[in-house]
Amino acid sequence: MNDALDLKIFEDQYCMAVSEGFFRGARMLQRVQVLRDENKDLEDFLKISQTIAAKLQCRVVSAEMSLLKKEVLVEEKERAWNEERAKWMREKVQLVEDVNHYKTASLVSGSDVETLYIELVIFQLDNQKLAAERHWLLSPGFGCFLAAFTQSPDFKGSLERTYQAYQNVGYLAGLKDRYVFSSQGMRRKETPR
């Protein structure tokens, strides 16, 4: 009788273990299907994020190109100002030579000499104004332009969207990595923060 009882208990335990294994397998299949659906959604989201990141990168590159073009314009203006200044310096030297020549020739009246000196002073003031303007454009002027450009909502928005897209791509890669490990029955990797 003990053998029959032991056999009955064994059969019951075996049936329970088989049915429990069957239900566990069904739950695992459901979980795998849910994970597959999530993975498909995440892959779609990753593609969208990569597309957005590529578009934003194009916008950043175009903004950089625009900035480079503006720098080239500033350099061209500086070259033109230097040429203009050199021309005025040559004129100044010529005026000084003319004044000295008129002084020595004694053919020039006092009012003509005064007129030449006044023209020379005006010329020197113009040179000083141009030098100050050039200095302002090269140091604080360009800095003001760069500050205004980097503080603009369009630039900040595109930079934030680029940063968010790159962050999303990294987040999705981590989720995919965890899914691969869990589908193989392994524990998730510990990642440093």
| Domain extent for 134 | 2-183
Provide mean pLDDT across the span 132-151. Answer: 78
Give the pLDDT confidence score for residue 5 in this predicted structure.
Answer: 58
Residue 69 covered by a domain: yes
Task: Tell me the per-residue pLDDT of 16-54, one tens digit each, with 9 for 90 and over.
Answer: 888 888 888 888 889 889 888 888 888 888 888 888 888
Residue 190 covered by a domain: no
**Statement: residue 2 has pLDDT above 60:** no
Instruction: Count Cβ atoms within 10 A of the Cβ of residue 86 and give its class: 0-12 exposed, 13-18 middle, 19 or more buried.
Output: exposed
Residue 152 covered by a domain: yes
Residue 101 covered by a domain: yes
Number of domains observed in the structure of the chain:
1
Residue 189 covered by a domain: no
Helix or strand run (H / E) with residue 49: helix 2-105
Q: Which residue has the higher pLDDT, 89 or 162?
A: 89
Task: Tell me the per-residue pLDDT of 60-72, one tens digit each, with 9 for 90 and over.
Answer: 888 888 888 888 8
Residue 37 covered by a domain: yes
Output the average pLDDT for the chain. 79
Highest mean pLDDT among 68-82, 93-107, 159-173: 68-82
Nearest residue to 102 (alpha-carbon basis) of 90, 88, 94, 112: 112
Give the pLDDT confidence score for residue 17 in this predicted structure.
Answer: 82
Nearest residue to 88 (alpha-carbon basis) of 139, 131, 138, 133: 131
Question: 43 by DSSP, 3-state: which?
Answer: helix
Q: What's the distance, Cα to Cα, between the start and end of the chain in Å?
A: 64
**Statement: residue 10 has pLDDT above 80:** no
Q: Which residue has the higher pLDDT, 191 or 74?
A: 74
Residue 188 covered by a domain: no
Instruction: State the pLDDT confidence band at 192, using cuts at 50, 70 and 90.
Output: very low
